[in-house]
């Protein structure tokens, strides 16, 4: 079995070259998001939600339990919806009955799950992990804006066509995707 001569590592040129290579690998991995991909720690995106939050229309009312179920089973889009990704609510087999992961982010996901009380059409939220893919700024900001709008609210409203997740007369407007 051959063993590397450890004296080679004492050579300043080789030591410097190895340091530079290591630094490059770390920098490229960080820029590509490899270190955080699949991370279990919540790393929510950032974004401005005000553009997605609207004043509730006069015909919007607190959703009934049946309407809440319909909303959670639907596919939705926002006013500034990027192409290709509708918003859905996923309730996995292992998740509690009242928890729905909000899916459909344009880049890394929204990093939020809603804990819903259908009988009162209210919700709270739980942070969830997101990926850290490199995306253009517009898509990353969209994910953050949806997340921020969701966590500002606590009630599900419905106007017969559109759903609104909000409170105090404003909410994130979700229109049917189909």
Show the tokens assigned to 22: 């290591």
Taking only the tens place, the pLDDT of each residue in 32-46 is 444 333 334 344 444
pLDDT greater than 70 at residue 55: yes
Set out the domains of the chain in order of their start, with CATH numbers. Answer: 1-32 (no CATH), 53-176 (2.40.128)
Show the tokens assigned to 2: 């051959």
Closest CA to 167 of 105, 124, 106, 109: 124
What is the average per-residue pLDDT within 18-23?
64
Closest CA to 83 of 63, 67, 99, 107: 107
Which spans in 33-91 are helix H? Answer: 65-73
Show the tokens assigned to 168: 């105090």
Taking only the tens place, the pLDDT of each residue in 108-167 is 678 888 889 999 999 998 888 777 667 777 777 888 888 899 999 999 999 999 999 999
pLDDT at res. 99: 77
Tell me how far CA of residue 20 lies from CA of 8, 12, 16, 17, in angstroms. Answer: 16, 12, 6, 5
pLDDT greater than 80 at residue 104: no
pLDDT at res. 88: 86
d(CA 65, CA 76): 18
Q: Which residue has the higher pLDDT, 3 or 130?
A: 130
Show the tokens assigned to 165: 């997740």
d(CA 150, CA 52): 10
Could you tell me if residue 36 is left (phi over 0), alpha (psi between -120 and 50 degrees) or otherwise beta? Answer: alpha
Q: On the CB side of 16, how many CA atoms lie within 13 Å of its CA?
A: 3
Q: How confident is the model at residue 57 (pLDDT cuts 50, 70, 90)?
A: very high
pLDDT at res. 23: 60
Q: Which residue has the higher pLDDT, 95 or 107?
A: 107
When the pLDDT of each residue in the chain is averaged and rounded to a whole number, the result is 77
What is the average per-residue pLDDT within 67-83?
86
Does this model's pTM top 0.85? My answer is: no
């Amino acid at each position: 079995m051959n063993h590397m001569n450890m004296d080679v590592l004492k050579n300043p040129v080789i030591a410097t070259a190895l340091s530079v290579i290591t630094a490059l690998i770390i920098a490229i991995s960080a820029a590509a998001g490899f270190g955080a991909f699949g991370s279990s720690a919540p790393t929510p995106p950032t974004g401005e939600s005000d553009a997605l939050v609207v004043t509730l229309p006069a015909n919007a009312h607190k959703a009934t339990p049946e309407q809440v179920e319909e909303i959670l089973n639907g596919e939705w889009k926002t006013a500034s919806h990027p192409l290709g990704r509708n918003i859905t609510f996923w309730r996995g087999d292992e998740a509690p009955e009242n928890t729905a992961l909000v899916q459909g982010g344009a880049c890394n996901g929204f990093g939020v799950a809603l804990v819903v009380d259908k009988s009162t059409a209210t919700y709270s939220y739980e942070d969830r992990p997101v990926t850290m893919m490199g995306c253009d700024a517009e898509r990353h900001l969209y994910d953050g804006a949806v997340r921020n709008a969701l966590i500002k609210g606590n009630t599900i409203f419905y106007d017969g066509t559109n759903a609104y997740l909000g409170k105090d007369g404003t909410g994130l407007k979700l229109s049917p995707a189909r």
